[in-house]
Amino acid sequence: MTQDLSIVQFLLNASWVVQAVVALLVVVSTVSWAAIFRKVFALKRVNAKNEDFEREFWSGANLNDLYAAAAQSARQAGPMERIFASGMREYQKLRERRITDSGALLDGARRAMRASFQRELDALEVNLSFLASVGSVSPYVGLFGTVWGIMHAFTGLAALAQVTLATVAPGIAEALVATAIGLFAAIPAVVAYNRFAHDIDRVANRMETFMEEFSNILQRNVGAQSASGH
């Protein structure tokens, strides 16, 4: 006799525990793929906005004009532009308080930029922990379904007088489907997590470099203003 060996038929014949495990893994895989696509587009958007702002910043534009533009379009601005705006905002507030100490001015601007940098980094890392969990847990969830399915298959075989490969194979195959789906959910999540972690590190390094360069510009401005005041 010929048997239907399709995955759908295996799942229909599997125990309810295996079916529940497979359903859970399919849902998790779907959610992880949605998170992967959202993160891909988000990182592309962040890199594009950072490049646009950096190009404008190094084109010789006036800092006050850049700050005014960043303040007006704070929601549409990129992470680097928001970091710049935070530093300029704190710098100008301290100047309005007639604080002339260069160390206090620069420390205030750096602290504001560092806080903004941390907020931007936290936003970039959203869903990374979820992908890491999917990548590490899904194979074990699938393995649990497989072990349970094998136990169920052998329990059913105990009632048979004669056991052959044809009677054992379908039950084992049903159970192994859970492990296969667990790996199908885990592998893309692990690959995506490693790729996103690398890309986010590059974005973070670029923003930290900008913070240092902008701090140097502020330091030169403070020095020039102090010299002109004397």
Neighbours of 92 (CB within 10 A): 15
pLDDT of residue 159: 65
Residue 31 CA to residue 39 CA, distance in Å, equals: 12
Q: Which two tokens stand for residue 218?
A: 């502020």
Stretches in the chain below the pLDDT threshold 50: 1-3, 230
Confirm if 228 and 107 have CB atoms less than 8 A apart: no
pTM of the predicted model over 0.75: yes
Residue 81 CA to residue 68 CA, distance in Å, equals: 11
pLDDT of residue 2: 42
Handedness of CA 137, 143, 146, 147 (dihedral sign): negative
- How many H-runs (helices) and E-runs (strands) does the chain carry? 7, 0
Residue 107 CA to residue 126 CA, distance in Å, equals: 29
Q: CA dihedral in degrees (198, 200, 204, 209; nearest 10)?
A: 60
pLDDT of residue 1: 37
Instruction: Give the count of alpha carbons within 13 A of 115, CB side only.
Output: 10
